[in-house]
C-alpha cells in the first residue's frame, strides 16, 4: 500500500493526465502502457486509480475505459430490492434515483456507487444507471444454508440482498440444509455471477428456539458480548455508592421521590419528586449519574460510543452498558443511596418554568412504582391501591395535576401528539408469540413523558444560553412539497392548513389532528401527516424540535441507554464545576459533531432491528389464524397493494394481484386503489374485512385477501403445510432452488476450470 503523501502526489499526476484536453478514454492496461508504469508498480498504479474513483473524480465506463466523472454522475448508496432493481440515495438530495434491474452493474444492497443520472425524466421519478462501485457496503450476510453434493448456497435473510451466495464445499463449515449461518463474502460476483463466500458461524437450525432473533442481531451487527477490557473495568465498580463519592454533593435523600416504570423494567434511570407551595410546583427530575462511573476515554466509554444506544428486542435487551451498571449501581433502585444529576424546576400554574437549578445530588428513592399501580391511583382512583400507597397518594395526585398543566401548555404552543399504538408482544419461554396487543398508553405513562419533556427542554435552553458545546435533539421542519401535497389532499375532506412562505407552524398540524379526532378520516389524515414529517436526529446546533414546537430540546434523561445523554451529562457537570475551560471547549467542539452523527446512525440501526424482530414475531403469531376473517383499516397503499392494520397493531398486505374483480391501479394523488373498469376505490384509512391468506416468517410478511377472493378449498392443503414446518418453509427459497441450482452448478464448474 502506498504512503499517504506519495499516493496524493501520484493522484495529482494521473488526474492531470486524464484531465488533459487531448486525453481520450482508454482502458487500465492501455494506460499502464502509455504511462510506462513498471510491472512491479502496476498494483500501486491500480491503487491510485481506485483512490481517484473513490474521490469521485474519475469513473470507469461499461467498456472499461477510464474517464473524468461527468457532471450528471453522482455518488450515493445503493438500496437493493428482491426484484433486482434498486434505488440510489444521494446525500443532500431529496429524491432517490431509480435503477432498473439491467443497470445495477452487479451492485449489492448498501454499496457506495457512482450513478449516471438521466437528466430527462421518463416517468415520475429520476432514473439512472450505476457506472461504478466505489465501496462494498456488506461483508457479513446472515441467511439460510442449502446444501448440494459439491457445494452449498445461502439465501440472505435481507430481501434487498437479491443474489444467493455460492459457498464452495471447503467453506461450508459442516453446515446442513436449514441452518442459519453468518457468511463472509469473499467475491462479490458480477451482474452475471453470484457472490461467493464462506460460512464463519452457524447460529443453529432455523426451528431452534431463539435462532430467529439471533439471526437479526447478527444481520444488524449488534454487539452482544462486552470486550474483556470493559468487563475488567466493571469489576472495579462498587456495588454500593462509596462514601468518597458522596462528598460535595447536594444531599436530598430526605426528599420524597419515586421511580415509575413498566413492571419488567430493570434499568431505572429516572426518579421524580414534587412539592407544591402556593401556586408554584417544585418538580425534581433526578437522573442516574452514569458519567461518574463511565469516564471519558475509558473502555466502558469507547464501547458505549460503538453501541450508541440500548436495543430493545422482544425477548431481550442488548444494553449500551453492562448489566452491573445498567441494572446495578446506576439503576435508581428503591431504598439505596444513588448518585444523580438533578434538574429541579419551579413551575407556575400556567406551566411556565419560572426558575430552575441543576445539581449533582445524592438520592434515595422511597418506592418503585409501576405504570399499572400509578394508573390505578391517579386514573381509576382504586381505593385498595391508594390505601396501599397512602404516603405517596398526595404527591401522585399533584403530579397528575401538574402533568395536565404541562400538556396543555405544549398544546397551546402547537406540540403535535400522534397517538398511534405501539405493540406489546408476549412470548412463551421458547420464544413463541402467545399474544400481540396495543401497548397501554395511559395517564401514568403520559405523566412521566410530560416530566421528562420539560426537563429536556429546560436543560437544552439553559445550555444554549451558556453558549456551551452541546448535543441537541433536532426535528427539522417538513419539506414544503410534502406539506403542500398534504394540504391539497385534506381539502377533499373540507380541511385546510395555513402555510407561510414555504413554512408551516406545528400548531397548524396540531389543530388539524384535533379537528379530525373521532372522525372516520382520522387514521388516514393522521398517518399522512406523520409521513410528511422528517426524522429527528442529534445535532451540535440548536435547530429546534418541530414536532414539540420548541426551539430548545435535548436528550438528558436516559444516560443508561443513550450515549448523547451520557455525553451531555459530562458537559453539564464540567460546566457546574467551572471546569469547561477553553481547552475543554475546543475538545468538545472537535468530538461532538461525530458523536451526534454516529449516535443518529446507531439509533436508526436499533430502530430497524427492533422493527424487524416485531414484524417476524407478528408473522409467526398470525400463522394460527390462516383462513380466519378480521376487520382492519387500510394503513398504506402502494403500486403493488394495500397494507391493512388490525386492531392488535399487526399489519399485512392485500396484494393488487389478489384483487380478482378488476385491474386495480394506485391513484397516488388521492391515496387510493382504483379499479380500472368498475371504478371501485379502496381508500387509505377505510375499514375493510380481510382473510389471513398466508404468512412468511423469514420475509416477515403477512398476506391478506378480501373475503370474496378467498378460495378456502384451494389452499386447505397449504394451511396444513403451514402448521407443520417442512423443508420448503424452513428454507424459504427452496421453491426457487431448482432453477438456481443449475446456474450455481455452471458457476461451480467455471470456477473449477
Indicate whether 303 and 437 sit together in one domain: yes
Is pLDDT at 208 greater than 80 in this prediction? yes
Cα 80 to Cα 249, 393, 552, distances in angstroms: 54, 56, 38
The closest alpha carbon to 569, from 582, 583, 587, 554, belongs to 554
Q: Which three cell numbers stand for residue 280?
A: 408554584
The closest alpha carbon to 653, from 669, 671, 639, belongs to 639
Phi, psi of 79 (to 5 degrees): -110, 110
Confidence grade of residue 335 (pLDDT, cut at 50, 70, 90): very high
681 falls within a domain? yes
217 falls within a domain? no
Give me the mean pLDDT over the 468-492 stretch: 86
152 falls within a domain? no
Which pLDDT belongs to residue 671? 79
Indicate whether 317 and 387 sit together in one domain: yes
Indicate whether 291 and 259 sit together in one domain: yes
Tens of pLDDT, residue by residue over 637-651, are: 888 899 999 999 999
Spatial distance between the Cα atoms of 519 and 712, rounded to a whole number of angstroms: 35
The closest alpha carbon to 196, from 752, 734, 749, 748, belongs to 748
Give me the mean pLDDT over the 34-42 stretch: 88
Indicate whether 511 and 607 sit together in one domain: no
Give me the mean pLDDT over the 276-283 stretch: 96
Is pLDDT at 563 greater than 60 in this prediction? yes
Indicate whether 295 and 404 sit together in one domain: yes
Give me the mean pLDDT over the 485-495 stretch: 81
518 falls within a domain? yes
Indicate whether 484 and 471 sit together in one domain: no
Exposure of 555 by Cβ count < 10 A (0-12 exposed, 13-18 middle, 19+ buried)? buried
Which pLDDT belongs to residue 720? 41
Tens of pLDDT, residue by residue over 289-322, are: 999 999 999 999 999 999 999 999 998 899 999 9
Tens of pLDDT, residue by residue over 242-268, are: 999 999 999 999 999 999 998 888 789
Among 69, 85, 116, the domain-final residue is 69
Read off the CATH number of the domain in which 33 is found.
1.10.10
Q: Sign of torsion, CA 588 589 590 593?
A: positive
52 falls within a domain? yes
The closest alpha carbon to 53, from 43, 34, 68, belongs to 68
Read off the CATH number of the domain in which 706 is found.
2.40.50.140
Indicate whether 605 and 469 sit together in one domain: yes
Among 29, 46, 69, the domain-final residue is 69
Do 75 and 89 touch, CB atoms closer than 8 A? no
Spatial distance between the Cα atoms of 79 and 218, rounded to a whole number of angstroms: 19
Which pLDDT belongs to residue 12? 87
Extended strands (E) in 432-500: 433-438, 472-474
Is pLDDT at 747 greater than 60 in this prediction? no
Which pLDDT belongs to residue 487? 84
Helix residue ranges, H only, 236-297: 243-246
Confidence grade of residue 727 (pLDDT, cut at 50, 70, 90): low
Give me the mean pLDDT over the 103-112 stretch: 83
Phi, psi of 418 (to 5 degrees): -85, 125
Give me the mean pLDDT over the 273-280 stretch: 96
Give me the mean pLDDT over the 701-724 stretch: 66
Q: Is 197 helix (H, G, I), strand (E, B) or coil?
A: strand
Spatial distance between the Cα atoms of 264 and 244, rounded to a whole number of angstroms: 33
Confidence grade of residue 587 (pLDDT, cut at 50, 70, 90): very high
Confidence grade of residue 544 (pLDDT, cut at 50, 70, 90): very high
Tens of pLDDT, residue by residue over 168-193, are: 999 999 999 999 999 999 988 877 78
Indicate whether 446 and 468 sit together in one domain: yes
Helix residue ranges, H only, 22-69: 28-34, 42-54
Among 533, 552, 577, the domain-final residue is 533
Domain that holds residue 631: 626-724
Confidence grade of residue 636 (pLDDT, cut at 50, 70, 90): confident
Tens of pLDDT, residue by residue over 47-94, are: 888 888 777 778 787 678 888 876 677 888 888 877 778 888 887 666
Give me the mean pLDDT over the 119-132 stretch: 79
Indicate whether 501 and 650 sit together in one domain: no
Q: Sign of torsion, CA 190 697 440 524?
A: positive
Residues listed for the chain: 753
Give me the mean pLDDT over the 281-291 stretch: 97
Indicate whether 360 and 292 sit together in one domain: yes
Selected residue with higher pLDDT from 669 and 442: 442
233 falls within a domain? yes
The closest alpha carbon to 342, from 362, 368, 325, 369, belongs to 362
Q: Sign of torsion, CA 477 480 483 487?
A: positive
Selected residue with higher pLDDT from 520 and 621: 621
The secondary element (H helix, E strand) that includes residue 691 is strand 687-696
Extended strands (E) in 265-316: 270-277, 280-288, 311-312
Tens of pLDDT, residue by residue over 397-431, are: 999 999 999 999 999 998 888 766 788 999 999 89
121 falls within a domain? no
Indicate whether 571 and 642 sit together in one domain: no
The closest alpha carbon to 315, from 407, 399, 424, belongs to 424
605 falls within a domain? yes
Which pLDDT belongs to residue 667? 86
Indicate whether 342 and 250 sit together in one domain: yes
Total domains in the fold of the chain: 4
Cα 743 to Cα 230, 379, 394, 450, distances in angstroms: 48, 65, 74, 59
Which pLDDT belongs to residue 724? 46
Amino acid at each position: 500500500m502506498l504512503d499517504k503523501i506519495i499516493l496524493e502526489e501520484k493522484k495529482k499526476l494521473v488526474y492531470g493526465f486524464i484531465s488533459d484536453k487531448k486525453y481520450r478514454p482508454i482502458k487500465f492496461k492501455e494506460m499502464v502502457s502509455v504511462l510506462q508504469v513498471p510491472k512491479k508498480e502496476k498494483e500501486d498504479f491500480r491503487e491510485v486509480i481506485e483512490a481517484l474513483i473513490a474521490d469521485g473524480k474519475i469513473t470507469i465506463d461499461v467498456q472499461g475505459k477510464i474517464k473524468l466523472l461527468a457532471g450528471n454522475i453522482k455518488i450515493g448508496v445503493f438500496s437493493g430490492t428482491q426484484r433486482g432493481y434498486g434505488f440510489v440515495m444521494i446525500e443532500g438530495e431529496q429524491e432517490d434515483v431509480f435503477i432498473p434491474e439491467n443497470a445495477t452493474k452487479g451492485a449489492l444492497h448498501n454499496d457506495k456507487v457512482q450513478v449516471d443520472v438521466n437528466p430527462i425524466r421518463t416517468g415520475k421519478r429520476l432514473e439512472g444507471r450505476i457506472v461504478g462501485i466505489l465501496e462494498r457496503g456488506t461483508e457479513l450476510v446472515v441467511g439460510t444454508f442449502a446444501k448440494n453434493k459439491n457445494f452449498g448456497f445461502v439465501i440472505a435473510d435481507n430481501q434487498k440482498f437479491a443474489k444467493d451466495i455460492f459457498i464452495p464445499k471447503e467453506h461450508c463449515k459442516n453446515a446442513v440444509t436449514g441452518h442459519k449461518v453468518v457468511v463472509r463474502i469473499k467475491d462479490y460476483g458480477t451482474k452475471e455471477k453470484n457472490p461467493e463466500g464462506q460460512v464463519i458461524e452457524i447460529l443453529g437450525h432455523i426451528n431452534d428456539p431463539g435462532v430467529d432473533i439471533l439471526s437479526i442481531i447478527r444481520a444488524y451487527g449488534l454487539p452482544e458480548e462486552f470486550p474483556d477490557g470493559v468487563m475488567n473495568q466493571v469489576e472495579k465498580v462498587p456495588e454500593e455508592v462509596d462514601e468518597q463519592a458522596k462528598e460535595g454533593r447536594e444531599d436530598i435523600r430526605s426528599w420524597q421521590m419515586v421511580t415509575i416504570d413498566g413492571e419488567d423494567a430493570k434499568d431505572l434511570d429516572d426518579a421524580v419528586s414534587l412539592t407544591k407551595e402556593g401556586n408554584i410546583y417544585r418538580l425534581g427530575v433526578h437522573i442516574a449519574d452514569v458519567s461518574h462511573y463511565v469516564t471519558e476515554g475509558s473502555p466502558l466509554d469507547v464501547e458505549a460510543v460503538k453501541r450508541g444506544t440500548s436495543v430493545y428486542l422482544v425477548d431481550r435487551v442488548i444494553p449500551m452498558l453492562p448489566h452491573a451498571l445498567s441494572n446495578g449501581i446506576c439503576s435508581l433502585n428503591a431504598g439505596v443511596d444513588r448518585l444523580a444529576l438533578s434538574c429541579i424546576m419551579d413551575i407556575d400554574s400556567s406551566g411556565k418554568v419560572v426558575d430552575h437549578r441543576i445539581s449533582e445530588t445524592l438520592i434515595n428513592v422511597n418506592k418503585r412504582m409501576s405504570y399499572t399501580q400509578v394508573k390505578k391511583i391517579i386514573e381509576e382512583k382504586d381505593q385498595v391501591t391508594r390505601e396501599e400507597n397512602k404516603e405517596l397518594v398526595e404527591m401522585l395526585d399533584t403530579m397528575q395535576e401538574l402533568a395536565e398543566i404541562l400538556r396543555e401548555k405544549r398544546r397551546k404552543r402547537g406540540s403535535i401528539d400522534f397517538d398511534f399504538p405501539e405493540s406489546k408482544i408476549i412470548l412463551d419461554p421458547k420464544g413463541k408469540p402467545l399474544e400481540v396487543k396495543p401497548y397501554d398508553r395511559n395517564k401514568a405513562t403520559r405523566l412521566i413523558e410530560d416530566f421528562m419533556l420539560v426537563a429536556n427542554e429546560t436543560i437544552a435552553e439553559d445550555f444554549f444560553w451558556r453558549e456551551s458545546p452541546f448535543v441537541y435533539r433536532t426535528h427539522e421542519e417538513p419539506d414544503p412539497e410534502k406539506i403542500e401535497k398534504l394540504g391539497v389532499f385534506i381539502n377533499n375532506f373540507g380541511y385546510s392548513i395555513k402555510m407561510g412562505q414555504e413554512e408551516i407552524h406545528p400548531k397548524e398540524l396540531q389543530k388539524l389532528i384535533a379537528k379530525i379526532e373521532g372522525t372516520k378520516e382520522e387514521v388516514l389524515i393522521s398517518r399522512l401527516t406523520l409521513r410528511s414529517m422528517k426524522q429527528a436526529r442529534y445535532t451540535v446546533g440548536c435547530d429546534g424540535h418541530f414536532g414539540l414546537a420548541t426551539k430548545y430540546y435535548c436528550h438528558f434523561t436516559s444516560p443508561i441507554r443513550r450515549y448523547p445523554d451520557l455525553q451531555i451529562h459530562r458537559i453539564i457537570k464540567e460546566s457546574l464545576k467551572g471546569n469547561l475551560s477553553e481547552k475543554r471547549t475546543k475538545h468538545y467542539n472537535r468530538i461532538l459533531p461525530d458523536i451526534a452523527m454516529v449516535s443518529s446512525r446507531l439509533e436508526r440501526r436499533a430502530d430497524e432491528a427492533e422493527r424487524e424482530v416485531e414484524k417476524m414475531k407478528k408473522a409467526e403469531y398470525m400463522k394460527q389464524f390462516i383462513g380466519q376473517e378480521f376487520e382492519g383499516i387500510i394503513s398504506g397503499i402502494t403500486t403493488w397493494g394495500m397494507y391493512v392494520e388490525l386492531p392488535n397493531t399487526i399489519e399485512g398486505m392485500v396484494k393488487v394481484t389478489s384483487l380478482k374483480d378488476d385491474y386495480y391501479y394506485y391513484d397516488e394523488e388521492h391515496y387510493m386503489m382504483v379499479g380500472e373498469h368498475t371504478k371501485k376505490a379502496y381508500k387509505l384509512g377505510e375499514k375493510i374485512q380481510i382473510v389471513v391468506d398466508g404468512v412468511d416468517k423469514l420475509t416477515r410478511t403477512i398476506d391478506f385477501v378480501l373475503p370474496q377472493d378467498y378460495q378456502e378449498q384451494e389452499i386447505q392443503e397449504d394451511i396444513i403445510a403451514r402448521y407443520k414446518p417442512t423443508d420448503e418453509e424452513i428454507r424459504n427459497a427452496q421453491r426457487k432452488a431448482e432453477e438456481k441450482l443449475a446456474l450455481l452448478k455452471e458457476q461451480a464448474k467455471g470456477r473449477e476450470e
